[in-house]
Amino acid sequence: MQGLTDRLWRTLETGAAIALGLMAALVIYQVGARYLFGSPPSWTEELARFLQVWLVLLASPICVRRGMHLAVDYVTPRLPPGAALALRTGVLLISALFCLGLAFYGARLLAVAGFQTSPALGVSMVWPYLAVPVSGILMAVAAGVLIVSGLRRGTGDDEP
């Protein structure tokens, strides 16, 4: 199971890196076209925006997995190990439930997005909106992995 989740995180990291590279290339092309030709293609801005949405929402599960999201960690270090583990597990469980709710309502949003097309690219708006449920599921999986690994180790540490 560990090998599967490691491959999943590496794939997400690679996808986020590719999205960032493509987004940067598109923005550079757009700025160059604006100054060289006076009129950049309209599709570059829209595609860069869609890539940014996917980049942020693909990077979010990676951040959850690494424990990199913003947290106020004042209480946990002062608790005994068992209480720290219980608090950390509870917080991760609440986070996972929130992410599953995000995935559920994001999936419902896809039904509405299916009737829309993007103005410049002419693609279905399902593609950019699909990032919401995908990210919600992956963040819930990341929180679940942290819960299981924390319970196995018996500590409240953030390390996977």
Q: What is the pLDDT of residue 160?
A: 52
Q: What is the pLDDT of residue 3?
A: 79
Q: What is the pLDDT of residue 53?
A: 95
Q: What is the pLDDT of residue 154?
A: 77
Q: Cα–Cα distance between 156 and 119 in angstroms, integer?
A: 48
Q: What is the pLDDT of residue 119?
A: 93
Mean pLDDT by 10 residues, the chain (160 residues): 82 94 95 89 93 94 87 84 92 96 96 93 95 96 92 66
Q: What is the pLDDT of residue 94?
A: 96
Asked whether 146 and 160 are in contact (CB, 8 A), the reply is yes
Q: What is the pLDDT of residue 5?
A: 80
| C-alpha pair distances (Å), 10 with each of 46, 133, 142, 153 | 27, 20, 13, 23
Q: What is the pLDDT of residue 73?
A: 81
Residue 123 buriedness (CB in 10 A; 0-12 / 13-18 / 19+): middle
Q: b/e per residue, 13-35, with b = 16+ CB within 10 A?
A: eeebeebeeebeebbeebeeeee
Structure tokens at 141: 């999986």
Q: Vertex 121, ends 115 and 122: CA angle to 5°?
A: 30
